Amino acid sequence: MNVQWYPGHMAKAKRMMQENIKLIDVVIELVDARIPLSSKNPDIDALAANKSRVLLLNKYDMADQKYNDMWKSYFEEKGYHTALINSKNGHGVKQVKDIVYKACEAKIERDRKRGIINRPVRAMVAGIPNVGKSTFINSFVGKASARTGNKPGVTKGKQWIRLSSKIELLDTPGILWPKFEDPSAGMKLAFIGSINDDIIHMTELSLELILFLNKYYPDAIKNRYEIEIPEDLNEPKDCVSTLAQIALKRSCLMKGGEPDIDRAAGILLDDFRNVRLGRITLEFPET
């Protein structure tokens, strides 16, 4: 299955990102803990060259805890300052200020040597659509932080939020574009609902999801729908019978009494996206 996707507004987002990144010291990059690589923008390394970097694995509450810890170590080994966070309920968000400041230590030291003391570091949140940027900013900023107006040297209209005497955050997140060219990443982005469902064949997508789950989380479907899955599922078309079973279990029947495969596909994807199949990670760090 090939997900073709390049919305026109991404070109504008790219320009905005290039403009805003000049103003900041540190990029707080959000990825989805269920697909840390597929939700990571491929060009960010070039864009954020010479900036301090923080990588937050957001929505860890939806991902498999076993792999959460492995992914955290993976990125730490790559030199990132990293945390697992749940922006929705705030878990893990409190520590981010310290992490941001730590990521900037070298820069603060350079400033100090040049006589620049007590200048707050400037941060920006960035990530692909739907990764949780706005939710994170709201949680991170909280109610107490002051929004500062325009400042000399800063493009008119940019708002900075003072998080402490040490950190200021650009109030609009940088929107990054996902990995369009990688079909496997496109499919995983579609699984989690980060690609407009209108351009996707939902039934095809759900067959791919069954194939994946059967391999890595064999009990997820069995337990949710109380059905047996054949062991020899090798390609998407082998999974149609599973959709038929789900349709029968959920009384999704067409006029002639045939199972409604398309409705079952919708139910499966909706259950997956709402964690009703359990906490599931869709890609794994190489061990």
Per CB under 6 A, residues contacting ligand G4P are 58-59, 61-62, 86-88, 127, 129-135
CB of 248 to ligand G4P, least distance (A): 29
DSSP assigned state of 83? E
Under 8 Å between Cβ of 99 and 85: no
Residues in the chain: 287
CB of 161 to ligand G4P, least distance (A): 15
Q: Which is nearer to ligand G4P, 59 or 224 (CB)?
A: 59
CB of 61 to ligand G4P, least distance (A): 5
Q: Which residue carries 């349709």 as its tokens?
A: 247
Q: Which is nearer to ligand G4P, 135 or 281 (CB)?
A: 135
Q: Which residue carries 């970097």 as its tokens?
A: 53
Under 8 Å between Cβ of 86 and 33: no
Count the neighbouring beta carbons within 10 Å of the beta carbon of residue 227. Answer: 15
Spell out the alpha helix ranges (H) of the chain.
9-21, 44-47, 65-77, 96-103, 105-113, 133-141, 183-191, 202-216, 218-225, 240-249, 261-273
109: exposed, middle or buried (C-beta count within 10 Å: 0-12, 13-18, 19+)? exposed
Under 8 Å between Cβ of 54 and 85: no
Q: Which is nearer to ligand G4P, 136 or 247 (CB)?
A: 136
Q: Which residue is nearest to ligand G4P (CB)?
A: 132
CB of 91 to ligand G4P, least distance (A): 8
Q: Which is nearer to ligand G4P, 122 or 273 (CB)?
A: 273
CB of 270 to ligand G4P, least distance (A): 12
Q: Which is nearer to ligand G4P, 31 or 252 (CB)?
A: 31
CB of 109 to ligand G4P, least distance (A): 32
Under 8 Å between Cβ of 60 and 33: yes
Q: Which is nearer to ligand G4P, 61 or 64 (CB)?
A: 61
